[in-house]
Chains A and B, each alone.
Chain A
């Protein structure tokens, strides 16, 4: 009997330890990002991050301004969000409220398929097919710009936003719809004036989660945005995002150099931005009881 109790306790403790791994990993992420980023704040100083230029390799003075990278991430994120929102919300309404059961059975898994296409494959498609198309369509000197990046990122965010918005729409209590229909409203009026407004917090959370995915995406933007570190909000210009900067430059820096440490500073900023977006989305979902 005593042995059995001892065994139960050991298993309990093992499981606690395994569950705590996630906590440990989060702590280690913050610890190691901070550890490698802090040297930059000490030696060249935090003021150097406020520069207007990002030019980490130079014969004269290197520039480590985050502004062009922030504006680059902002351009692609805004472009992608503007494309994602109307398509996802409309598709979510259609799938949840209008599509016939058989149609739903086809549409849902097919759109989820999009979520499992590797980002590097989407980036490749963008490079070979979409960029020349954008170039020709708008008469630009190059198709590698914020718009091409934004279009592809929208494709990556759309399945996430559709599936969470759809959950939110489906979770609207039936009596609300029935009351509206009983009062003589048409099916469409009920959808647009009752169901969707009731599901709005969930839809907003879905959009925020989608934006979190867009900001953090690396391969697509590295392949199709042209990677020129300009301070611009024009989606027709080449831009360089925070993620692409880390991925492209980390391979060439020596460990412990100022440039190395500056890239970890970029990582910290990126982490904070996505952290805020995700936390916000979760707050909204929890507050309105839409946590799945």
Chain B
């Protein structure tokens, strides 16, 4: 049944798949292995010294936290609102088609172009300067399409019967959505959003031009301040530091913190999502 040629092809397919798996495993192992020795509480809780060559990464962690929170604050309501319109209200008309085209276009825009856009609109035109506000708004524009798609999926998963029965009992459209659609789709929307936000936390190119500071050993005081951010800090340490070889342990530790943060957010959201999916099985 299985001649040698076939067996060889199967082997090739399996090798290609596990080759990819092996490379991913190697990258993770390399970062973890070299990152752990330099990782300690002082590293996480003190500001950097000597342009990042010594000390810790506290301002970068705080900066990334502010940027991500700001992004969430702007993008979550817009994403949920947009998805509600598209899945509950929209009819097949020109506006809907244009919105759908816009969403798929946005999803394909390179992150550095978002950086240019944020620089032109928020930093210069709106005169926010390079700041948390400008960075968070730029990141929000970037993650918006992903969030809308995730929220729409969650809304579509709610069975039509729940809507029909509510409407049949005389509830208005919004009452129906509020009582019979939102409660069941909210967990899905939230986890989908968290997944998108995890990606935003690791992005460098958009904040490079709109928010990130080279070296700033104090914590930001207002949303109009520049901030350090983990991804940008790693980039600077790895490429701009005069003694890049010597500060390698710091680079690895920063990479590990960033990796753990992003993977932690992503995995947490994925686990939560599968839990909710099991809870609401129609």
| Residues of chain A at the chain B interface (Cβ within 8 Å) | 4, 7-8, 11-12, 14-23, 25-26, 28-29, 32-33, 35-36, 86-87, 90-91, 93-95, 98-99, 107, 109-111, 113-114, 116-125, 127-129, 155, 158, 162, 186, 188, 192, 209, 212, 215-219, 222-223, 243, 246-247, 250-251, 255, 263-264, 267, 270-271, 274-275, 277-279, 282
Contact = CB atoms under 8 A, between A and B. Distances in A.
Nearest to B104: A282
Interface stretch (B11-19, B38-46, B52-60, B220-228): B11-19
B263 interface: yes
Contact of A124 (B16, B125, B251): B251
A247 B85 contact: no
Contact of A28 (B21, B78, B117, B145): B117
A87 B20 contact: yes
B255 to A, nearest CB: 5
A25 B141 contact: yes
Given A107-B21, A117-B27, A223 B238 contact: yes
Q: Which among B1, B17, B209, B232 has the greatest number of chain A C-beta atoms within 10 A?
A: B17
A23 to B, nearest CB: 4
Contact of A120 (B27, B115, B231): B231
Contact of B111 (A90, A93, A216): A216
Nearest to A267: B116
B9 A16 contact: no
Contacts of B99: 19-20, 22-23
18 contacts: A4-B172, A15-B89, A19-B86, A23-B99, A32-B117, A32-B125, A90-B17, A93-B13, A116-B266, A118-B231, A120-B234, A121-B231, A123-B235, A162-B20, A216-B109, A219-B231, A251-B209, A267-B112
Contacts, number: 243
B61 interface: no
Contacts of B270: 109
A192 to B, nearest CB: 8
B113 A216 contact: yes
Contact of B116 (A192, A222, A250): A250
B6 A188 contact: yes
Interface in B228-282: 231-232, 234-235, 238-239, 248, 251, 255, 258-259, 262-263, 266, 270
Nearest to B105: A26
Contacts of A250: 115-116, 119, 208-209
Give the dominant DSSP class at A's interface: helix
A124 B20 contact: no
A114 B24 contact: yes
A285 B115 CA distance: 29
B218 interface: no
Interface in B1-37: 1-2, 6, 9-10, 12-14, 16-17, 19-21, 23-24, 27-28, 30-31
B17 A94 contact: yes
A215 B137 CA distance: 24
Contacts of B251: 124, 128
B30 A118 contact: no
Given A120-B232, A271-B110, 15 more contacts: A22-B103, A90-B12, A91-B17, A99-B17, A117-B28, A118-B203, A118-B258, A120-B258, A121-B255, A121-B259, A218-B205, A246-B112, A251-B209, A275-B108, A278-B107
A251 B19 CA distance: 39
A127 B235 CA distance: 11
Contacts of A109: 270
Given A19-B86, A32-B125, A119 B204 contact: yes
B187 interface: no
Given A124-B251, A125-B27, A219-B205, A274 B234 contact: no
B174 A270 contact: no
A251 B236 CA distance: 13
B98 interface: yes
A274 B110 contact: yes
Contact of B16 (A28, A94, A119, A270): A94
Nearest to B6: A188
Contact of B85 (A18, A118, A222, A246): A18
A271 B113 contact: yes
B159 interface: no
B192 interface: no
B73 interface: no
A36 B77 CA distance: 30
The 4 A-B pairs of least Cβ separation, nearest first, read A216-B110, A118-B202, A18-B81, A278-B108
Contacts of B90: 19
Nearest to A17: B81
